[in-house]
Structure 1
Amino acid sequence: MTRLLPPGEVGRAAALLREGALVAFPTETVYGLGADARNPRALAAVFEAKGRPRFNPLIVHYPEAGAAFAEVAAEGRARTLAARFWPGPLTLVLPRRPGCGVDLLASAGLETLAVRVPAHPLALALLRAAGVPVAAPSANRSGAVSPTTAEHVLEGLGGRIAAVLDGGPCPVGVESTVLDLSGEEAVLLRPGGVPVEAIEAAIGPVARRAAAVEGGEGLRSPGLLASHYAPGLPVRLEAREAAPDEALLAFGPAPSGAAVTWNLSERGDLAEAASRLFAGLRWLDAEGTRRGCARIAAMPVPRTGLGLAINDRLARAAAPRPGLLHPQRRP
């Protein structure tokens, strides 16, 4: 049985992590499924609980930049970004240092490691109390919609993990930005909570090379699989109107006609939209299924700032899944 721990039981959650158990906890982005990153059996349990392919690396979380940079080689750009954005929703992929204590399973056997310092006060308290690096992918079944509340975690992983540390809703609502700094060129692997424009203002140009992949071999960070963050209903992108058999994910003024509507932000605010994205997909999936809807229709969202991350998640939610007729657009 999975225990729901109130914020005051950080010490108990930390003890469970040190014992090799799995504990979900809140970050400013989404809830993470935490495991001791030095413990290969605990890491294997993460993959088992999520049904996650083992070629997909994990992000390792630390309470402060010094602890992270003790295990990865941080050059000037990394230190500049850490000073500017940590704690915060930015993950850096950097070369592992000799003697790095994180098990290779966390990085899918790569000689690089994805690291970050989360901004959520409860996450930081847990990391300090645990005293170990904590690998933590999103606390959901692999490929499903990411969780932004403790209740979401229990819906997907209840009975599969030891505990959920309840910190309320996550304020950012989309995962961290992932930036590869392991080579000469800075490469955006996944847009997220820190806009790429802000990163470029700090360190200069960033290449946008990564694309969603089907097979997964050679992934350098989490969140790069083509089909990911997917609800049960198919998702139609760039919807300008909604049919009676559609559940509408709206942004700004919403057209009428949909069976049910969730508005990310009636005023067109991207930060509000990001914070409501995964909760909206979950609600529309459940309510739309209950009402017999054929799909979720998603209205356009601007591709700037946090909108880049929102569009990335929607594109992956709409990607075809094996064995599923998954129309993305109406004729």
Structure 2
Amino acid sequence: METRIYKSSELKQAAQDIKDGKLVSFPTETVYGLGADATNVSAVKNVFKAKGRPADNPLIVHVDSIKMVEKYAEPLSDKAKKLIQTFWPGPLTIIFNLKPNVLSKVVTGGLTTAAFRNPRNKVTLGLIEEADTPIVGPSANTSGKPSPTTAQHVYHDLKGKIAGILDDGHTDVGVESTVLDMSSKNPAILRPGAVTAGEIAKVIGPVEDTAKLHRVKNSKEIPKAPGMKYKHYAPNAQVYVVDHPNMFNEAVHWAGEQNVKVGVMAIDSILNQINWPDNVETYSLGSDVKSASHLLFAGLRHFDNEPEVKSILAEAFKANGLGEAYMNRLNKSAGQVHFGQDHNK
């Protein structure tokens, strides 16, 4: 199969592919998604096949309006409507209880709930409207690998497996959307993102920020949201989280003793103050946690294209606000391995 890269001006052809049951990657403000008609079971099954995604990992359903959500979800609460009015379109995914038999179990993982998102990207909103159907959209990468933030990242992973990629440049946020569960009595964040618990609480009151606790431990249990059960965001090299800027002094010494190439991902103020050994290649995460979140997956993918890099030292940030989303992704990419605690094991 030839994978075509569509310009935003070719949106109608991309939408026709969706209507025809084909797979098209689309841009959002967070990462690129892998799109298929959410009502076409055969097409949705091909999403799992293309990604190598486990069948019990439910998919996020992308919509262009609250009207489209209400076609599938049970009547929305006042709190849910306030969230939608405040944060949509944007990087907030909300889990709702479904009306009976409106979406295939292939989409929901067999659950009676589904996660809905109204993305901020105008090209993708146009795609959904033109296709006139909700579109499933897990990240458009090989399952378990760093999420794609450019059309080129998608092409690298899925060329020959999907019909097309709708190119709208580099994504803005760089980490996936916040996932908020509104299907239970107490609203709970299952995955942190750019919309924080504090921002949500200002709209609907207290919310459980339980992303760290909501891990699926039983192999037979179905996760409610992506990222709760399976390995995510991991490059080929082992990532080590460097918890504090002062630790880079020790890290540079360790890196210089390695017989292989070492990658370093940090903000410019750290990269510029250290005389790195010849076997170290650096990748700038910009100037702060916002730019670091924007560039995290791109950096991991950069080093994935260099097989001689066997280890990656990556800067940590305080896990609050956007930093919580950044650290959630970084810790998963590292398998919770931290420099100074685990790097000699």
TM-score normalised by L of structure 2: 0.88
What is the distance in 2 between the residues matched to 1:126 and 1:134?
Answer: 9
Q: Which residue of 1 aligns with 2:123?
A: 122
Are the structure 2 counterparts of residues 236 and 80 from structure 1 closer, same or farther at C-alpha, using a change threshold of 3 Å?
same
Q: Which residue of 2 aligns with 1:104?
A: 105
Are the structure 2 counterparts of residues 237 and 6 from structure 1 closer, same or farther at C-alpha, using a change threshold of 3 Å?
same
Q: Which residue of 1 aligns with 2:283?
A: 262
What is the distance in 2 between the residues matched to 1:221 and 1:309?
Answer: 15
Q: Which residue of 2 aligns with 1:84?
A: 86
What is the distance in 2 between the residues matched to 1:44 and 1:111?
Answer: 18
Q: Which residue of 1 aligns with 2:266?
A: 250
Is residue 329 of structure 1 aligned with residue 342 of structure 2? yes
Amino acid at match of 1:279: A
**Shift of the alpha carbon at 1:199?**
0.9
What is the distance in 1 between the residues matched to 2:43 and 2:120?
Answer: 24
Q: Which residue of 1 aligns with 2:225?
A: 221
Contact 1:226/1:319, CA 8 A, preserved across alignment: no
Give a deviation string over 1:188-215, Cα, whole Å, max 9, x none.
Answer: 1000121222111211221133444464
Are the structure 2 counterparts of residues 252 and 76 from structure 1 closer, same or farther at C-alpha, using a change threshold of 3 Å?
farther
What is the distance in 2 between the residues matched to 1:146 and 1:72?
Answer: 28
**Shift of the alpha carbon at 1:64?**
1.1
SS state at 1:237 partner: strand
**Shift of the alpha carbon at 1:39?**
0.8
Structure 2 unaligned residues grouped into runs of 5+: none
- Structure 1 stretch displaced more, 277-286 or 206-215: 206-215
SS state at 1:283 partner: helix
RMSD (CA atoms): 2.0
Structure 1 runs (4+) deviating above 6 angstroms are: none
SS state at 1:253 partner: helix
% identity of equivalent residues: 40
Structure 1 unaligned residues grouped into runs of 5+: none
What is the distance in 2 between the residues matched to 1:53 and 1:234?
Answer: 23
Give 1 or 2 for the bigger CA radius of gyration: 2
Contact 1:17/1:130, CA 8 A, preserved across alignment: yes
Amino acid at match of 2:91: P
Give a deviation string over 1:105-153, Cα, whole Å, max 9, x none.
Answer: 1110100010010000101010000001100100001001100110000
Is residue 319 of structure 1 aligned with residue 335 of structure 2? yes
- Structure 1 stretch displaced more, 13-22 or 90-99: 90-99
Give a deviation string over 1:34-92, Cα, whole Å, max 9, x none.
Answer: 00101111011000000000010000000112211221122122111100000000000
Q: How does 1:74-223 map to 2 (within 5 A)?
A: 74-98=76-100, 100=102, 102-209=103-210, 210-213=213-216, 215=219, 217-223=221-227
The count of aligned residue pairs is 321
Q: Which residue of 2 aligns with 1:274?
A: 293
- Structure 1 stretch displaced more, 224-233 or 204-213: 204-213
What is the distance in 1 between the residues matched to 2:268 and 2:188?
Answer: 32
Q: Which residue of 2 aligns with 1:237?
A: 241
Amino acid at match of 2:64: P
TM-score normalised by L of structure 1: 0.92
